[in-house]
Amino acid sequence: MKRTLPSAMLALFMALAAPPVSGQQEASWQPRAQLELEQLFAALASGSSQKIERHLAAEFQLVRSNGATFDKRSYLQRSIPVIKDTPRFLNIKVTGQADIRVITFHLEVNETIDGHSVENLSPQLIVFRDLGDRWVVVASANLAKLTR
């Protein structure tokens, strides 16, 4: 408990100290969000763990609609989707503060995950950290239903 309190206090201080972000600033992130999604999904479509790893933060975590969870290592070792065509990103909404960008969107794609087909249109949530020259994925929620 003694370790948790200072960490929680630091997180609260950082959240309160960060300047508020205007809707205009968030709108300016829209083209960059589109680009980062395209680059991320191009890496995923390659099937190459090395290409994908560059896009994931060390603390990366993913949760799927079936409750499966993965950290960076387990995701790269055994759960990269097989993407069969170029995805479309619809209804992109970007919010953020400091170096964090939260993106919600609908993903339209033909893919399989762990050998299962996936519904072609589904809501997604990806949290990125802006490193300046690129964004890395911190967390992702893939809400696509797995089919047989």
| pLDDT tens sequence across 49-92 | 999 999 999 999 999 999 999 999 999 998 899 999 999 999 99
Residue 122 lies in a domain: yes
Residue 12's pLDDT is 44
What range does the domain containing 116 cover? 23-142
Residue 121 lies in a domain: yes
Q: Which amino acid makes up residue 14?
A: M
Contact at 8 Å (CB) between 88 and 100? no
Residues 102-121 have pLDDT tens digits of 999 999 999 999 888 999 99
Residue 27 lies in a domain: yes
Q: Predicted confidence band at 23 (pLDDT cuts at 50, 70, 90)?
A: low
Q: Predicted confidence band at 27 (pLDDT cuts at 50, 70, 90)?
A: confident
The chain-wide mean pLDDT, for the chain, equals 87
Residue 85 lies in a domain: yes
Residue 88 lies in a domain: yes
What is the CATH classification number for the domain harbouring 100? 3.10.450.50
Residue 30 lies in a domain: yes
Residue 130's pLDDT is 96
Rounded alpha-carbon distances, angstroms, from residue 56 to 59, 85, 99, 130, 143: 8, 22, 15, 12, 19
Q: Predicted confidence band at 100 (pLDDT cuts at 50, 70, 90)?
A: very high
Residue 36 lies in a domain: yes
Residue 16's pLDDT is 47
Rounded alpha-carbon distances, angstroms, from residue 118 to 33, 41, 95, 146: 23, 15, 27, 5
Q: How many domains does the chain have?
A: 1
- Cα 142 vs. chain centroid, distance in angstroms? 9
